[in-house]
Structure 1
Amino acid sequence: MYFKQFYDQKLSQTSYMVACQQTKEAIIIDPKRVLDEYKETADAEGFKITQATETHIHADFASGLRDAARVFGAKLYVSDEGDENWKYQNVPEETVFLKEGDTIKVGKVELSVIHTPGHTPESISFVLTDRGGGSEEPMGIFTGDFLFVGDIGRPDLLEEAANMEGTTEEGANAMFDSLKKLDNYPDFLQVWPGHGAGSACGKSLGAVPLSALGYEKKNNWVFKYEDKEAFINELTSDQPEPPSYFAQMKKVNQEGLPEFKMRKIDVGTPEVLPGQLFDLRSKEEFKEGFKKGAINIPYNRKFLQFAGWCINYDEPMTVIADPDLSETLQKDFASIGFDNLQLIVPSDQAEQYFNDSYKNIAPEDFTENAEDKSVLDVRSTAEYKEGNLNQAEHVHFGQLQDKEIPFDKEEEIYIHCQTGVRSAIAMSVLKARGFDNIINIEKGYAGIKEALR
């Protein structure tokens, strides 16, 4: 048997390839939309990707399931659990719909299906047994967004991101029951989750890429609860705010997306810039001069996690960036279901558009008469609850485009996050909304606390 884990750091997302080395057949599990890595691995190892499957309809990235059928000719296997609201649409006729107890055979490797609802109603997990290796015992379980290292999948995404009322409590109840199914499996069973630290699909995911069921039973908080009500209360409290693009992902992953294909993106400096404008320069460069209306999301490893809060899927996009990033940006945006990048304005030619700037203030200067200043805290709710300035109003940075801002536009407002990264994004969003009298607090709440000592 062959096994490989693929980890996308930008999305904190994990996918897998399993192959039978005797028959050279391979399956990919929870594939992301850009399939290059799977093809490269299969070609290098001499495998043919004959099958593809996923654990559930994903909310945090664009699935590559249907593209696996188009590109590799792979046969698809998808969940048939859950009600009519959670059925896959627009999949090939030969797609196999799975129920608990079904088995996928990849040569002499078997994946047995168990229904593990809670994160979503249709969620399934796959228990792997290497029959070709002579084993009668299962080796591991692909848990998707059911069980993570150190955590469990959140049950509130359907309600928070897709506005499906009442689904949080239903999901939490189902999750408690799904956990009990793991009592039937040995402690040596490896746990292969769908996400790692940084994902918004749970609240305390571990950074270790895999685990063992016995280890999780001793160390993962979710196994400490025998009382269902206490478990539900803990599971549903203090979950991070889900990025706004999650609702879009649920829709497109259920219905399907066009095949991803690389395009030639226009590069230039036209008089009119099409659609929404993202400025990918550093916050330090942006602060000194920018086009009002541009959203500043620096291009780094957290780019997608931040950009997903701000993208309008109904508009084309212009970016201010290095044109050499064209292919990388297309792949990045494709991974969250956005295929409408229209123009790249080279960073070193963008100054002609700049008509605005903003100010920073050192935390030591801010703390002088701080109680008399209007403050907007743009951290997460959990961070805000852990400690905040008494006079601060709170709006999560990712919700500034849509939520009412609790200040007048003419009022002088001081903006902060935890360390100064998200507040810089917030400054660009607020500027775009017409808040011109705003000042960014360097080093954020951490700097303020240090200055107050």
Structure 2
Amino acid sequence: MFFKQFYDQKLSQSSYMVACQQTNEAIIIDPKRVLDDYEEVAKAEGFNIVQATETHIHADFASGLRDAAKRFGAKLYVSDEGDEDWKYQNVPENTVFLTEGDVINVGHVELKVIHTPGHTPESISFVLTDRGGGSDEPMGIFTGDFMFVGDIGRPDLLEEAANMEGTTEEGANAMFDSLRKMEGYPDFMQIWPGHGAGSACGKSLGAVPLSTLGYELKNNWVFEYEDKGAFITELTRDQPEPPTYFAQMKKVNKEGLPEFKVREVTVGTPDTLPGQVFDLRSKEDFKKRFKKGAINVPYNQNFLQFAGWYIDYDQPMTVIGNPKDSKELQEDLASIGFDHLELIVPSDEAEKYSDDSYENISPNDIVNNHKEFNILDVRSLSEYNSGNLENAEHLHFGQLGKKDVPFDKNDKIYVHCQSGVRSAIAASVLKANGFDDIVNIEKGYAGIKEAMK
């Protein structure tokens, strides 16, 4: 048997390839939308990708499931569990719809379906047994967003991201029952999760890429609870705010997207910039001179985690950045379902459009009289609740422009996050929404607390 985990650092997302080395047949599990990595490995190993499946309708990235059918001719296997609101649409006619107890055979490798609702109603997991290797014991389980290393999937995304009222409590109840299904499996069974640390699909995901059931039974907090009510209270407490693009992902992964292909994107400096504008320069360069209305999200490993809060899927996009990044940028945006990058303005041409700036200030300059200032804390709610300036108002940086800012547009507003990264993004968003007098507090809350010592 062949096994490989693919980890997308930008989305904290894991996908997998399993193959039978006797028949050279391979399946990909929870594939991301850009399929090149799977094709490269399959070619190197001499495998044919004949099947593709996923554990549930994902909310945090755009699935490559349907593209796998088009590109590789792979037969698709999808969940038929859950209610009618979350059934797969627009899949090939030969797609197999799975329920508990069904089996996918990949050559002589067996994947048995377990219905593990809680994160979503249709969530399933796959227990792998290497029959070709002569084993009758399960080697591991692909858990998707059911179980992570050190955590489990949050039950509130349908309510928080897709506005499906009441689904949080239903999901939490279902998750408690799903965990009981693990009791009959051996401790040595490996856990192959769908995400790692940094994902918003849970609140305390571990950074280790895989685990064992025995280890999780002893160390994962979820197995400490025998009382369902106490378990539900803890599970639903302090979950991170879900990025706004999650709602779009649930929709497009349910209904499907056009096949992704890299294309030539126009590079230039027209008089009018089409659609929404994202400035990918560093915060240090951006603050000096920028086009008002542009959102400043530096192009680095955290780009998708931040940009996903602000993308308007109904508009084309202009970016101010490096034209050499065009292919990678298209692939990154495609991974959260956005295919409408229309223009790249070279960073060294940004001055042509610059008409605004904002000020940075040191924590030392405000610490003695911060109570006199209008302070906006743009960290997560859990960060804010763990410690804050008593006169600070709170609004998550990703919710700026969507919820009312607790200050007037003519007020001078001092913005901070934890370290100064998110507040710089927030400064650009506030500027774009008509708040003209913005000051970014360098080094954030950590710097403020240090200056108070």
1:192 maps to 2:173 = no
Question: What SS is found at the alignment partner of 1:291?
Answer: coil
Which amino acid is the alignment partner of residue 87 of structure 1? K
The runs of 5 or more residues in structure 1 that have no matched partner are: none
Which whole-Å CA distance do the structure 2 matches of 1:413 and 1:317 have between them? 28
Which whole-Å CA distance do the structure 2 matches of 1:132 and 1:125 have between them? 21
Partner residue, 2:306: 306
Partner residue, 2:333: 333
Which amino acid is the alignment partner of residue 57 of structure 1? I
Partner residue, 1:398: 398
Which amino acid is the alignment partner of residue 245 of structure 2? Y
Which whole-Å CA distance do the structure 2 matches of 1:405 and 1:183 have between them? 48
Which amino acid is the alignment partner of residue 225 of structure 1? Y
Partner residue, 2:422: 422
Partner residue, 1:240: 240
1:278 maps to 2:273 = no
Which whole-Å CA distance do the structure 1 matches of 2:348 and 2:340 have between them? 23
Which whole-Å CA distance do the structure 1 matches of 2:401 and 2:62 have between them? 23
Partner residue, 2:410: 410
Which whole-Å CA distance do the structure 1 matches of 2:105 and 2:162 have between them? 34
Partner residue, 1:317: 317
Which amino acid is the alignment partner of residue 451 of structure 2? A
Question: What SS is found at the alignment partner of 1:177?
Answer: helix
Residues 165-184 of structure 1: pairs in structure 2 closer than 5 A: 165-184=165-184
Which amino acid is the alignment partner of residue 239 of structure 2? Q
Partner residue, 1:258: 258
Question: What SS is found at the alignment partner of 2:414?
Answer: strand
Partner residue, 1:63: 63
Shift of 1:111: 0.0
Which amino acid is the alignment partner of residue 14 of structure 1? S
Any idea what the Cα deviations from partners look like across 1:105-147, whole Å, max 9, x if unmatched? 0000000000000000000000000000000100000000000
1:296 maps to 2:296 = yes
TM-score, normalised to structure 1's length? 1.00
Any idea what the Cα deviations from partners look like across 1:255-296, whole Å, max 9, x if unmatched? 000000111000000000000000000000001110000000
Question: What SS is found at the alignment partner of 1:192?
Answer: strand
Partner residue, 1:86: 86
Partner residue, 2:208: 208
Partner residue, 1:107: 107
Q: Which moved more, 1:367-376 or 1:276-285?
A: 367-376
The runs of 5 or more residues in structure 2 that have no matched partner are: none
Partner residue, 1:447: 447
Partner residue, 1:98: 98
Which amino acid is the alignment partner of residue 184 of structure 1? G
Which amino acid is the alignment partner of residue 384 of structure 1? Y
Partner residue, 2:20: 20
Partner residue, 2:346: 346
Shift of 1:184: 1.1
Which whole-Å CA distance do the structure 2 matches of 1:418 and 1:224 have between them? 31
Shift of 1:316: 0.1
Which whole-Å CA distance do the structure 2 matches of 1:285 and 1:438 have between them? 16
Any idea what the Cα deviations from partners look like across 1:234-266, whole Å, max 9, x if unmatched? 000000000000000000000000000111000
Which whole-Å CA distance do the structure 1 matches of 2:119 and 2:331 have between them? 27
Partner residue, 1:367: 367
1:32 maps to 2:32 = yes
Which amino acid is the alignment partner of residue 236 of structure 2? T
Which whole-Å CA distance do the structure 2 matches of 1:352 and 1:160 have between them? 40
Which amino acid is the alignment partner of residue 265 of structure 2? I
Question: What SS is found at the alignment partner of 1:410?
Answer: coil
Which whole-Å CA distance do the structure 2 matches of 1:370 and 1:313 have between them? 39
Shift of 1:366: 1.2
Any idea what the Cα deviations from partners look like across 1:394-433, whole Å, max 9, x if unmatched? 0000000211011011111100000000000000000001
Shift of 1:232: 0.2
Which whole-Å CA distance do the structure 2 matches of 1:71 and 1:79 have between them? 21
Any idea what the Cα deviations from partners look like across 1:317-338, whole Å, max 9, x if unmatched? 0000000000000000000000
Which amino acid is the alignment partner of residue 53 of structure 1? T
Which whole-Å CA distance do the structure 1 matches of 2:86 and 2:413 have between them? 44
Which amino acid is the alignment partner of residue 134 of structure 1? G
Which whole-Å CA distance do the structure 1 matches of 2:206 and 2:368 have between them? 40
Which whole-Å CA distance do the structure 2 matches of 1:46 and 1:369 have between them? 67
Which amino acid is the alignment partner of residue 411 of structure 1? D
1:229 maps to 2:237 = no
Which whole-Å CA distance do the structure 2 matches of 1:97 and 1:104 have between them? 11
Which whole-Å CA distance do the structure 2 matches of 1:27 and 1:213 have between them? 23
Which whole-Å CA distance do the structure 2 matches of 1:160 and 1:73 have between them? 36
Structure 1 segments of 4 or more deviating over 2 A?
A: none
TM-score, normalised to structure 2's length? 1.00
Shift of 1:368: 2.6
Question: What SS is found at the alignment partner of 1:261?
Answer: coil
Any idea what the Cα deviations from partners look like across 1:85-110, whole Å, max 9, x if unmatched? 11000000000000000000000000
Shift of 1:157: 0.2
Question: What SS is found at the alignment partner of 2:161?
Answer: helix
Which amino acid is the alignment partner of residue 392 of structure 1? A
Which whole-Å CA distance do the structure 2 matches of 1:352 and 1:256 have between them? 39
Which whole-Å CA distance do the structure 2 matches of 1:174 and 1:255 have between them? 25
Task: Provide the aligned length of Structure 1 versus Structure 2.
Answer: 453
Q: Which moved more, 1:279-288 or 1:366-375?
A: 366-375
Shift of 1:349: 1.2
Partner residue, 2:357: 357
RMSD of equivalent CA atoms: 0.4
Any idea what the Cα deviations from partners look like across 1:25-60, whole Å, max 9, x if unmatched? 000000000000000000000000000000000000
Which amino acid is the alignment partner of residue 288 of structure 1? K
Any idea what the Cα deviations from partners look like across 1:204-237, whole Å, max 9, x if unmatched? 0000000000000000000000000000000000
Which whole-Å CA distance do the structure 1 matches of 2:327 and 2:308 have between them? 18
Which whole-Å CA distance do the structure 2 matches of 1:86 and 1:447 have between them? 45
Which whole-Å CA distance do the structure 2 matches of 1:277 and 1:421 have between them? 19
Which whole-Å CA distance do the structure 1 matches of 2:268 and 2:413 have between them? 36
Q: Percent identity?
A: 78
